[in-house]
Structure 1
Amino acid sequence: MTTTFLLVRHAAHDRIGNFLAGRTQDVSLGIEGRKQAQRLAARLERERIDLIYASPRKRTQETAAAIAAVSKIAEVKTADALDEVNFGDWSGKPFEVLNTDPQWRRWNCIRSMVRAPGGETMLDVERRMMEFVEQVLEQNVGGCVVLVSHADVLKAFVCHVLGLSADAWPRFEIAPASISAVAAGDWGAKILSLNENVP
């Protein structure tokens, strides 16, 4: 049985690109982000969605709720495995501050070997993400499952499917409110599409 995973990055918050939101609790979608979420939902309305899982973060929950409303899905399931990278002490810091930190620069060069201070490595992220995907597949769900998460978490999934190192993360984009598709089953997994942006 084949399951199609639609990997959805949350829509934009007002400070995207200015600070590392991480697991900061109160980051919700901005005005443009809410519009993005509505356009994303309109695009996904033509898909036959069976389940929606989302990270616990407010921005992912809001994005998932917009999709659920048009998909007639009664409940968005929260999955901790889809949570943002635990950036530890870096969470909430402006990028202009982070860019002066040698450890942050190392993180962005060799993520496979660097741990966020008080947080996790990208290999930790990949492990929890793939364990979750395996659990979904074991339920023999089939059909179409939407996973609403964060750029780096979704990139970890894509890198795993493509057999790439975690250090390959800058080689492709996962934009806000984008959709990527992966088909998976007992035979393995393959990328169907990557970073579809909704106009």
Structure 2
Amino acid sequence: MTQFLFIRHGKHGGPEGVLLGRSDAAGLSEEGREQIRRLGFFVARPQVDLIYTSPRRRCLETATELAIALDAPVEADVALDEVDYGTWTGRSFDDLAHDSAWTAWNDQRDVVRIPDGERMRDVQIRVLRYLQCASAVHPDARIAVVTHAEVIRAAMLAERGLSLRQWADIDVEPGSVWLMERTAPTVEAVAS
């Protein structure tokens, strides 16, 4: 059985109240670095075998901090990338609150596509495929997965059998850890 420790990146040093999305404008703040250093000691036992991370700067910096405490290799994987927020990237949450598309997306995340961006269902599919592949490649490993709030939510909602519309039921704070276990699927030969 593969054990996944989903970890949201630490607090970033970018502007507060802005949807960073796939922007690499902000890395970790000093508070975020300290948050992850403390977290590393918490998740170090039992041993973490490897760390997979989103390619975004705030996640790469989080994974690098964790690698020091966990003595584990780091590998970036695009399957763990932030949601593509399209035209919303860089906008303030105050501004988005007046956008009818933002309201529709938050009410119906299972069907609404972000303008020039992704559907949450597609995000969920890519993270679930990642889990399937990683558990097949690394059976019996303990893997730290550094990613973003909505990617973690998508995985946890699927794990709990909940709808993407129930996103608010799962609060994913910076530096939080979520445990998920997966058994690699078996493949049986079929006689022809």
TM-score by shorter chain over 0.5: yes
Query: Corresponding residue for 2:10?
Result: 11
Q: Select the structure that is richer in strand.
A: 1
Aligned to 1:125: 123
Instruction: Give percent identity, aligned residues only.
Output: 35
Q: Structure 1 residues 58, 91: CA separation in 2 closer, same or farther (over 3 Å shift)?
A: same
- 1:26 positional shift: 2.1
Tell me which of 53, 73, 76 is aligned to 2:74. Answer: 76
Q: What's the secondary structure of 2:62's corresponding residue?
A: helix
Q: TM-score, normalised by structure 2?
A: 0.92
Q: How far apart, in 1, do the equivalents of 2:27 and 2:49 lie?
A: 25
When the two chains are superposed, the root-mean-square deviation of aligned CA atoms in Å is: 1.4
Q: Deviations over 1:148-181 (max 9, x none)?
A: 0000000100111111111111012111000110
1:23 paired with 2:7, answer: no
Given that 2:14 and 2:27 are in contact with CA atoms closer than 8 Å, whether structure 1 keeps it comes out as no
Q: How does 1:136-147 map to 2 (within 5 A)?
A: 136-147=134-145
**Aligned 1:93-112 pairs, distance under 5 A:** 93-112=91-110
The letter of the residue matching 2:53 is A
TM-score, normalised to structure 1, is: 0.89
The offset of 1:100, in angstroms, is: 1.0
Work out whether residues 45 and 67 of structure 1, in 8 Å CA contact, stay in contact via their aligned partners in 2: no
**Which whole-Å CA distance do the structure 2 matches of 1:136 and 1:45 have between them?**
20
**In structure 2, how many angstroms separate the alpha carbons of the residues matched to 1:126 and 1:174?**
16
Q: 1:46 to 1:140 in 2, by over 3 A?
A: closer
1:11 match: secondary structure: coil
Moved more, 47-56 or 135-144: 135-144
Aligned equivalents of 2:55, 2:170: Cα separation in 1: 25
Post-superposition, which runs of at least 4 consecutive aligned residues in structure 1 deviate over 2 A? 14-17
Matched position secondary structure for 1:167: helix
CA distance in 2, matches of 1:134, 1:35: 32
Q: Which runs of 5+ in 1 are unaligned?
A: 188-199
Cα pair 1:3 1:184 within 8 Å, conserved: yes
Q: Secondary structure of 2:178's partner? A: strand
Residues 9-18 or 50-59, more deviating: 9-18
SS at match of 1:28: coil
Is contact 1:89-1:119 (8 Å) kept?
yes
Instruction: Work out the CA distance in 2 between the residues paired with 1:141 and 1:27.
Output: 34
Q: 2:54·2:77 contact (CA, 8 Å) conserved in 1?
A: yes
Answer with 1 or 2: which has the greater Rg.
2
Give the number of aligned pairs: 185
Structure-2 separation of matches of 1:132 and 1:177: 21
Distance 2:95 2:152 in 1: 25
What's 1:47 paired with? Answer: 46
